[in-house]
Amino acid sequence: MNRAASPAARYLALSLGLALAACAPKPPKQLPPEPGPPVQATTPAATPVLRGPAPGSQADFVATLMGKDTIYFDFDKFNISPDAMAALQSQAQWLLRYPAKRATIEGHADERGTREYNLALGERRATAAKNYLVSLGIDPSRLSTVTYGKERPAALGSNEEAWAKNRRAVTVTVD
Amino acid sequence: MIARLISAVLLLGAAPVLAQQIEPAPVVAAKPAAQPAADQGLTGSVSDDSNWSETGIAIPAFATQADSPTATSAGSTGPLGRAVAEIITADLKNNGLFKPTGPGALPGVPYAQVAAPDFPGWAGRGAEMLVHGAVDANPDGTLRFDCRLYDVKLEQGLVHSSWTMAPGDWRRAAHKCADAVYARLSGESPFFDSKIAYIAETGPKGARMKRLAIMDSDGANHRYITTGQAIALTPRYSPDYSKIVYLSYLNGRPRIYVYDVAGNTQRLVAETGNPTFAPRWSPDGKWILYSMAIAGNTNIYRVAVAGGPSQQLTQTPGINIGGSYSPDGSKIVFESDRSGSQQVYVMNADGSDQHRISFFGGRAATPEWSPRGDQIAFTHIAGNLRIAVMSPEGRGMRYLTDSWQDEAPTWAPNGRIVQFFRTEAGSGHTSLWQVDLTGRNLRRLPTPVDASDPAWGPVLP
């Protein structure tokens, strides 16, 4: 799950994000309406190139986004922080460049909550990320969500730093 | 409603059945030392510091008329009698009521003494209560188990039950004998002859394999049900043990399945493209509660086990999840963050009159109504996660555990023991634990691998 960016850079970005989020106004509890059910679409195989990931591939997405494939959340929150908005804008740019690509947004929670609630919270976070991408012009039929609750931590420690890294939504494009 | 009440009675009905099998109570009750734990300990507060002593129970090996071969894993009736006494001893340990001494430290019992114990000899060993029994092979290969409980000082029989079992069910005879002893001496309903569904966990913290598994209440007869290719979570046994509802990531999407134990088949609880979580049975086994996320909001639904349309019970933005029926089926306790954080609410079974009952700071999650109806167990979150109980009105909240992370309480069939899982900080190792209602008597349930989400089924018929 740890893609591209160095841990230090990610942590700095994260701290900044948390600081900004603390000042940001609270979003409404009610989420924007669901844009509609996802539709199956086939993707033509990407053309391989000699060096670097194939343009339009998941590897290309990860390399291009440099850590911005993942957004982070405050404890028990699902609002999109200014930092997360910037990351989602980068994701949207890539997705607009490759309009045939579909993506799944994986929502996660830290381990300091009950299992079932964290499943619902992960779904909320993934949906919040999806709705923001849709607001940036991505066709909702290209985006699906899945929650892993606290079942798939990226950072394995039991401390605030690890929990902050695990409260996340990761966008994974479908090759 | 009537059907539900009847089923609720049936669910708790093992006690009267056993009561008919035991002998009349003695004129003089068992000595007072045995009583305080039963009278106050289990319902008293955690800070209760009254003195009591555990009742000493001698449990020598069960006798046999003739050491005959059996088709059991324990061997012929001689070794089998010893194994039965060992299981009874293990069952009666660690609940704060009894101090059992098993066959390893006791002399054997001549067959004739099963019905006529050597009371002075046992009194001389300091035993207050005495369990005697016999196991004999029937010509058809089945086994006959005899189980007796005596008050040594009164020189009086308190329990006499017998069961005929298939060889493969021999451990159940031991659990039934332990249940009879427990019920007679504690005045509570039995619970040892029951099964537990849970999640077996293996592998590294970041990529744990989570498999649905079942076992007897003491950890024996362990069996994996799912292969581990898809994450399995949060199982619940149906009241008749025929089905298990649980969450599976089959095909990459978290949804609730109804698994048929005998047929080894399963189906979705609801045909929906949305994720579904947190399945629960109604006490009569006719309804399943589940929670479904739509556009990020999660609400609680009810569907008939036979299928058909779902009825939405909560309709607020945010996360409404879980749900546990009162034993009479008339109310549901559930979890909601509609106030801003996880708290416990109660509603009528049709979704009406939803009101919050937890008002003691921190967050309150995973409420489970006791099968006796008098308590609600839940996870209290204030930094650490701890198991706590409160009344159905939200009063008398008290902790049963104090550890880094304990969650997901479920009840023993008799409503006297709460089972939960504990997670270790750092490593993420998980294990199953049981605690009685005083919070004093805590024990870890042995499992072959790490374990979470324990769910008790009812006492077997």
- B112 and B27 in one domain? yes
Which residues in chain A touch residue B295, judged by CB atoms under 8 angstroms apart? 31-34, 127
Query: How many percent of chain B have pLDDT more than 70?
Result: 89
Residue B393 domain boundaries: 195-456
Which helix (H) or strand (E) element contains residue B355? strand B355-356
Phi-psi region of B228 (alpha: psi -120 to 50; beta: other; left: phi over 0): left
Which residues in chain B touch residue A117, judged by CB atoms under 8 angstroms apart? 319, 321, 335, 337, 342, 365-366
Answer yes or no: is B64 within a domain: yes
- B452 and B332 in one domain? yes
What confidence score (pLDDT) does residue A45 get?
54
Answer yes or no: is B77 within a domain: yes
Tokens linked to B260: 């048929």
Which residues in chain B touch residue A131, judged by CB atoms under 8 angstroms apart? 296
pLDDT reading at B31 higher than 90: no
Question: Which B residues in the span 334-373 are in contact with A, Cβ-Cβ below 8 Å?
Answer: 335, 337, 341-342, 365-366
Q: Amino acid identity of B43?
A: T
The pLDDT tens digits of the residues spanning B317-373 come to: 999 999 999 999 999 999 999 999 999 999 999 999 999 999 999 999 999 999 999
- When mean pLDDT is compared across A119-133, B59-73, B89-103, B360-374, the lowest value belongs to B89-103
Are B385 and A114 within 8 A, CB to CB?
yes
Choice between B320 and B44, residue whose per-residue pLDDT is larger: B320
- When mean pLDDT is compared across A14-18, A74-78, B348-352, the lowest value belongs to A14-18
Give the SS3 label for residue B375.
coil
Q: Residue B277's beta-bridge partner residues? A: B291
What confidence score (pLDDT) does residue A72 get?
98
Of B444, B412, B408, B435, the residue nearest B233 (C-alpha):
B408
- B232 and B294 in one domain? yes
Mean pLDDT within B84-89: 98
Which of A102, A119, A127, A144 best tests the B interface by mutation, with the highest count of B CBs <10 A? A119
- B240 and B161 in one domain? no
What confidence score (pLDDT) does residue B4 get?
41
Are B342 and A121 within 8 A, CB to CB?
no
Mean pLDDT within B93-102: 87
The pLDDT tens digits of the residues spanning B184-214 come to: 999 988 899 999 999 999 999 999 999 999 9
What confidence score (pLDDT) does residue A47 get?
55
Q: Which parts of A73-123 are beta strand (E)?
A: 102-108
pTM to 2 decimals? Answer: 0.82
| Alpha-carbon span A22 to A33, nearest angstrom | 25
Specify the length of chain A in residues. Answer: 175
CATH number of this structure's domain A55-174, picked from the four choices 3.40.50.300, 3.30.1600.10, 3.90.1150.10, 3.30.1330.60: 3.30.1330.60
Which helix (H) or strand (E) element contains residue B118? none
The pLDDT tens digits of the residues spanning A127-162 come to: 999 999 999 999 999 999 999 999 999 999 999 999
Answer yes or no: is B45 within a domain: no
Answer yes or no: is B273 within a domain: yes
Measured between alpha carbons, how far is residue B73 from residues B83, B171, B220 in Å? Answer: 10, 10, 12
- Strand A143-149 and strand A102-108: the pairing is parallel
Of B159, B156, B203, the residue nearest B181 (C-alpha):
B159
What confidence score (pLDDT) does residue A7 get?
46
Domain boundary among B186, B211, B242: B186
Provide the 10 A C-beta neighbour count for residue A136: 15
The pLDDT tens digits of the residues spanning B360-414 come to: 999 999 999 999 999 999 999 999 999 999 999 999 999 999 999 999 999 999 9
What confidence score (pLDDT) does residue A25 get?
45
Residue B209 is part of a domain; what is its CATH number? 2.120.10.30
With an 8 Å Cβ cutoff, is B173 touching chain A? no
* Sheet strand arrangement including B195-202: B223-224, B209-216, B195-202, B450-456
Are A147 and B275 within 8 A, CB to CB?
yes
Residue B169 is part of a domain; what is its CATH number? 3.40.50.10070
Choice between B35 and B244, residue whose per-residue pLDDT is larger: B244
- B422 and B369 in one domain? yes
Tokens linked to B39: 């009278």
Question: How sure is the predictor about A46, in pLDDT bands with cuts at 50, 70 and 90?
Answer: low
Domain boundary among B137, B162, B186: B186
- B205 and B174 in one domain? no
- B154 and B207 in one domain? no
The pLDDT tens digits of the residues spanning B421-437 come to: 999 999 999 999 999 99
pLDDT reading at B26 higher than 80: no
Measured between alpha carbons, how far is residue B66 from residues A171, B54, B135, B224 in Å? Answer: 70, 35, 9, 37
Q: How many domains are there within chain B?
A: 2
Q: In the predicted model, what is the mean pLDDT of chain A?
A: 83
- B431 and B384 in one domain? yes
Are B408 and A123 within 8 A, CB to CB?
no
What confidence score (pLDDT) does residue B127 get?
93
- B217 and B174 in one domain? no
What confidence score (pLDDT) does residue B271 get?
86
Choose the closest CB to A29 out of B205, B317, B426. Answer: B317
What confidence score (pLDDT) does residue B37 get?
35
Answer yes or no: is B168 within a domain: yes
Choice between B395 and B42, residue whose per-residue pLDDT is larger: B395
Mean pLDDT within A24-46: 50
Query: How many percent of chain A have pLDDT more than 90?
Result: 70
Domain boundary among B137, B154, B186: B186
pLDDT reading at B55 higher than 60: yes
Q: In the predicted model, what is the mean pLDDT of chain B?
A: 89
Answer yes or no: is B8 within a domain: no
Measured between alpha carbons, how far is residue B130 from residues B65, B109, B187 in Å? Answer: 20, 11, 17
The distance in angstroms from the start CA to the end CA of chain B is: 23
Choose the closest CB to B321 out of A33, A116, A146. Answer: A116
- B223 and B161 in one domain? no
- B207 and B175 in one domain? no
What confidence score (pLDDT) does residue A34 get?
52
Query: How many percent of chain B have pLDDT more than 90?
Result: 81
Mean pLDDT within B66-70: 94
Question: How sure is the predictor about B27, in pLDDT bands with cuts at 50, 70 and 90?
Answer: very low
What confidence score (pLDDT) does residue B405 get?
98
Which residues in chain A touch residue B407, judged by CB atoms under 8 angstroms apart? 114-115
Answer yes or no: is B46 within a domain: no
Answer yes or no: is B410 within a domain: yes
pLDDT reading at B304 higher than 80: yes
| Alpha-carbon span B35 to B356, nearest angstrom | 37
What confidence score (pLDDT) does residue B50 get?
40
Mean pLDDT within B281-305: 97
Tokens linked to B154: 């009164």
Contact status, residue B406 vs residue B421, Cβ threshold 8 Å: yes
Of B108, B160, B98, the residue nearest B128 (C-alpha):
B98
Domain boundaries, chain A: 55-174
What confidence score (pLDDT) does residue B96 get?
76
- When mean pLDDT is compared across A1-15, A85-99, B81-95, B159-173, the lowest value belongs to A1-15
- B268 and B352 in one domain? yes
Interface A–B counts its CB contacts (< 8 A) at 108
Query: How many percent of chain A have pLDDT more than 70?
Result: 71
Which residues in chain B touch residue A34, judged by CB atoms under 8 angstroms apart? 294-295
